[in-house]
Chains A and B, each alone.
Chain A
Amino acid sequence: MSIDRREFLKTLGVAGASLSGAKALAKSTPEPDAEEFYAILHDISLCEGCQECEFACAAANNLPEPADDDYPDAEIKRQLKPEQWSVINAVETSVGEVYTKQQCMHCAQPACASACLTQAMNKTKEGPVTWTEGKCMGCRYCMVSCPFDIPKFEFDDNNPKIGKCQMCFDKLKEGEVPACVENCPADALTFGKRSDILREAHKRILDDPDSYVDHVYGEYEAGGTSWLNISPVPFEELGFKTDLETKPYPELTKGFLYSVPSVFILWPALLMGLREATRKEDKEEIGGADHE
């Protein structure tokens, strides 16, 4: 069915592609090779909540370090901020206190990148979703679209930036690993190709089924992400969003985008046809008089 649709679109697209955004469709569905993306696994059962990753993140990205009184505490929920791209939260659960890490999930097909009208949000072929300041208009549609509510905006700045984890894209290009992974003293973070990381996550669950719930968060959420989590307790208990779509979020707009070229070609033809059909016999030139 989807092939038929694509064929249909191609045929239509030939006529009105440039104006109507048919080209966009081809672009919005690159069928990314999600297995080849880089990914990071956070093993919640190993995390000690030491915040080393937060400090490493701040240092690597020229962001302010977390304040002394700003540490994981089960009483409060620490939030991502434009200048804090990664937060550790303590959560009191049935197995005692565990620590979660929140940052950009780097979806395989990100809603933010498909929402962005300037390509400031961009899915790189290596996996990270990056943000480019010179392109961004500050419209905040990425924030509206992101199912994980990750991008944060500097509302108090006259030249505001969007702040979110870039998966240390610059380091990745140099062949290094992201700062948080590099600096985790508890080995709770593992970096590698997504296919390998996914296999590792399932292996840990299989090897020790009593210590983990059988769910790799991020394997299917929002169509698959480059951050994967495994946990000793169900993810609802940790406050993770568990009502997300399992298909990529850009799919939600696909039906509408598909209809655009059709409307763009059919409407003018239909309208002109209607106009001819309802025309009174050569009464007068168009709008000879506007007011009778």
Chain B
Amino acid sequence: MSEQALTENYAPKQSFWKFFMSELKPRGSVLTVFNMISVPMVLLAAVLIVIRFIYGLSAVSNVTQSVPWGLWKGFNVVTGVAFAGGAYVLTFMVYILGLEKYKPLVRVTVLNGFLAYTFYAFALILDLGKPWNIINPIIGNSFGTSSILFLVAWHFMLYIVAQLIEFSPTVAEWLGSERARRNLKRLTIGAVVFGITLSTLHQSGLGALFLMAKGKIHPLWYSEFIPTLFFISSIFAGLSMVIFQGSILQKVFAYQLDSHSDERHNIMIRGLSRVCAIAMFAYFFLKVIDMVHNHTLGYLMTAEGAWYMVEMIGFVLVPMLLFVYGVRIGTPFMIKLASLMTLIGIVLNRMNISVIMYRWDQIPRYIPSWMEIVVTVSILFVQVWIFRWVIHRMPVLRTMESMTHSAQK
């Protein structure tokens, strides 16, 4: 039915393919600094990926028998998913709690979440030894249902679909189909409820993956509360990403925004900062309780303890206070700084658990190869390309009316 609506509505204007092909063309200058760096890098990564599939993982990656998960899983998947947590938190605030003032942030955050999950699924496939067998846990000829990874994988897939549904009205608007938009919009609340539930479980599930690695992860980072800690930290990781990314979008896509948007944006990020600060306090508190409970305080005096303090004080406690301070004195700069520090703290935490402090006692240590890093960064670059392409064309940051209006001018 919605398909029919689509055809009806755009058909009178021009053929779909003509429209689509014209939209594929780049807008604006092609020779930007970002493109000069990202294009060669992505091409190089494509070559590396071919090499990886011909000669096996060790041709490009430094992962070892004792540290079998490296940068691609630790950063692209485990860290990236936490960063993409903003989508479920914001849809909760807007669609469940009815906090309409955050609505302008929803579309861009859901878009970002959708792209992030899609590309992290891609990174996961790169890392699989036999990716063609990924069909086994999907079609059900071999369900390992007691596996937490099974749960996480399924929630990943279902959440990508949920986010696609949440974003689909925007696509319908872009294609000029009012009827399709209305029909798709009806699915939003279902997708939101389902999406929040899935997110709760897979954000914590990513932490639960490491529960059986007891003894392999340094006691300061291992905890039976890992699932809860991953869930709480995904709240402030996701929102910090929304704040930080928002401050960049405000500059890069300034032409799409009206004169009030800066002021409105600052009000929104102040609200989100409060949420971050509270979530970070809960997180920090739980960490302290966990440390006392597990008698790991003694480790604080070791070298690993110092590294732990860098993470917990430098990149959790300090940014938490900066958020509070930033809200109090009302300077966006302080809030943006706090969000950046929080993001670094999340990278530290996820990487410490999955890679750095995983078999911390093992010699030689796993250190990612330059090729792994090139692929990791390239995945982010392609994500940014698509993100940019969508923002330039679809009503994500602005309304459809303002788009047609500025086009007429």
Contacts and interface: CB of A to CB of B under 8 A. Distances in A.
Interface of A: 21, 23-25, 27-28, 79, 81, 111, 114-120, 134-141, 143-145, 147, 149, 152-160, 241, 243-245, 249-250, 252-253, 255-257, 260, 263-264, 267-268, 271-272, 274-275, 278-280, 285-287, 290-292
B208 A155 contact: no
A138 B128 CA distance: 5
B149 A115 contact: yes
B150 interface: yes
A241 B361 CA distance: 13
A252 B211 contact: yes
A149 B212 CA distance: 12
Contacts of B214: 147, 245, 249, 252
A253 B104 CA distance: 39
B197 A271 contact: yes
Given A267-B196, A267-B197, A138 B204 contact: no
A144 B147 CA distance: 13
A253 B211 contact: yes
Contacts of B387: none
B133 interface: yes
Given A137-B129, A138-B131, A147-B215, A256 B98 contact: no
A27 B146 CA distance: 7
Contacts of B130: 136-138, 159-160
Contacts of B92: 271
Contact of B212 (A157, A252, A264): A252
Which of B65, B137, B210 gathers most chain A CB within 10 Å? B65
Contacts of A158: 53-56
Contact of A156 (B56, B96, B169, B186): B56
Contact of B136 (A135, A252, A275): A135
B98 A275 contact: yes
Interface string B75-107: 000000000000000001001111010011011
B104 A137 contact: no
29 contacts: A21-B146, A24-B147, A24-B150, A28-B145, A114-B147, A116-B147, A118-B142, A137-B129, A137-B131, A137-B133, A138-B131, A139-B127, A140-B68, A143-B65, A145-B213, A155-B64, A155-B65, A158-B53, A252-B212, A256-B204, A260-B201, A267-B200, A268-B193, A271-B196, A275-B96, A278-B96, A286-B95, A287-B169, A290-B107
A114 to B, nearest CB: 5
Task: Bin chain B's interface residue count.
Answer: 35 or more
B58 A156 contact: yes
B148 A155 contact: no
A80 to B, nearest CB: 8
Contacts of B185: 285-287
Interface of B: 53-59, 61, 63-66, 68-69, 92, 95-98, 100, 103-104, 106-107, 127-131, 133-134, 136-137, 142-151, 153, 169, 185-186, 188-189, 192-194, 196-197, 200-201, 204-205, 208-216, 224, 227, 358, 398-399
A171 to B, nearest CB: 25
**Interface residues of A: mostly helix, strand, loop or mixed?**
loop
Contacts of B153: 117
Given A25-B146, A252-B212, A140 B103 contact: no
Most buried by B among A117, A272, A280, A291: A117
Contacts of B150: 21, 24, 117
Contacts of A256: 148, 204-205, 208, 211, 227
B97 A141 contact: no
Contacts of A156: 55-59
B145 A141 contact: no
Contacts of A267: 193, 196-197, 200
Contacts of B193: 267-268, 271-272, 275
B128 A139 contact: yes
B186 A286 contact: yes
In the A-B complex, the 10 residue pairs with the smallest Cβ-Cβ separation, listed nearest first, are: A138-B129, A28-B146, A24-B145, A117-B150, A155-B58, A140-B68, A145-B212, A117-B144, A160-B129, A117-B147
